[in-house]
Structure 1
Amino acid sequence: MAQDLTESLHERQNILNNRYVLEQAEQHLELGGTLYNGDIVFTKQQVMTMFEISDATIERYLSSYTEELKNNGYKTLRGTKLKEFKSLAFGTLINEGTKTTVLGVFTFRAVLNLGMLLTESESARLLRSRVLDIVLDVMAERSGGHTKFINQRDEDYLLAAVQEDNYRQNFTDALDNYVEGNKWKYGIFTNLIYQSIFKENATEYKKILKLNTKDNIRETMYSEVLNLIASFEAGIAHELKIASNSKKSRLTHKEAKALIQSFETHPLFNPLILNARTKMASRDLCFRDALHEKLEAYIKAVPEADFERFLGEKSKSLEEQLSDPETLAVFKRLKDR
């Protein structure tokens, strides 16, 4: 989907939180700047020249987006820090005034941030276009060229998948033993769990992620979502048994449905459901360019740690993980339980 960085805070922050994109952008954009305390920084005058904007324009953006720009590296230098910077900046302060006592500087990250905001600057528009190209290149390179199963690059995925599979068996056994009906009840009640957790049934989920008919949707789910599904399955299996034994007969579909739906409103699950919805909606939009419209209110910027988790040095495809003898041994032990 088209990305309008000038209007979307979380899409701007998703780029700025991705250190792999920042590294590539710093290398390819070659904006210059001065090395100060380990960061490349730019004076306000340099940024004005870079984007061909006036002092009034940059001040307006600094006022309107103060918190965002500060969070991404804009800072003011005074006293000793300003003196230190002046000694490093050589001739770059020529237009700042010889008696400057306070100086605003932008880190490279803050310059990109401002470039994503500016609507008056053609230079900023070109920068946004180049940055979006870099994002695509980095995602393709670090994810192996596809993101359908980017969830599996998380080192926690394998354990979550195996545990969920075990609880899934307990859940289907409970449906067999304690709920009336034919084989169609497995899909019906599984969809009720999905709708309780992330407001979509299996068909809707597959359409959003553009999955094939034969794709197993749980193989595309993040570990936190799988863990919550497992919790639902374990708890529901337990409650179905208790309710059926109390009734001394199998439950009707209506009775079982009411039991499952009650889980969504249980206070125990409220923070877990909020966490799962936020992670699914935010990560899928960022990594898979997939919008869960029913979860749109839960979308936030993906934190820096998640880029390390799914794109970093420790992230590996499932095939790579299973090629490791130690990981394979753990997997076999879990499957044999």
Structure 2
Amino acid sequence: MRDEYVFKDSVLDRVKAVPVLVGSLEVTMEMAATFYDVGRDAVESIIRRNRAEFNEYAELRILRGKSLAEFKTLRQADGDFKGVPSITLITRRGLLRIGMLLTESEVARSVRNYLLNVEEIASKEQRAWSMEREISKRERRRLTDAVQVFGDGNPFVYANYTNLVYRVLFDTDAPGLRKLYGLDPDDNIRDAFSTEDLRSVVDVETAISSLLRLGYGYREIRDELLGRSGNFRRDAA
């Protein structure tokens, strides 16, 4: 199954911007780790344990000697490559294969969900919605992590921030949206959102996460975002 999907490497750009080397479509181990938000050792371990798969499609290239010297000459301004005895470069297909093998990465999970659940069976509009849904779930986890670390300990803080997002975008709260969409108590509100709505939710939650990390409290964030709610509403653009 990995071999079947590994040629759909364009999915990477739909999940997250792929870092690139100037003049190349390959990435280094460090760039692969950055893309998947994991440590370099996690990428090294995946490649080491599954090298046969990567080698079968020439998804890895190790530079030593003359090829390494030429590589360094082309990138003299990049101090990260000075003094290293070898460099492993990974193709885009190899980067996608890493995502199919990583278990401790939200980005990799988003890639797999998109490939396995959507790509082959959905319309263009459904694929766009699913991609935004995956991104919104990842951003939601970033928000909950920020609330846990930087929040004020209020037991209702998660619900408060969720309702703040909805108030900024829709002038209502979670119960109001459930009523609007005719949802049952166990239904996920976000599954009823359009692609544009999901993008707007990501924008607001990203703003909240950033303000939390800057030391803003709930009331400050509430006043700031409600005062600029028009900037987040795509129908007002």
TM category, shorter: 0.3 to 0.5
Higher radius of gyration, 1 or 2: 1
Higher relative contact order (CA 8 A, sep 6+): 1
The two structures have a TM-score, normalised by structure 2, of 0.44
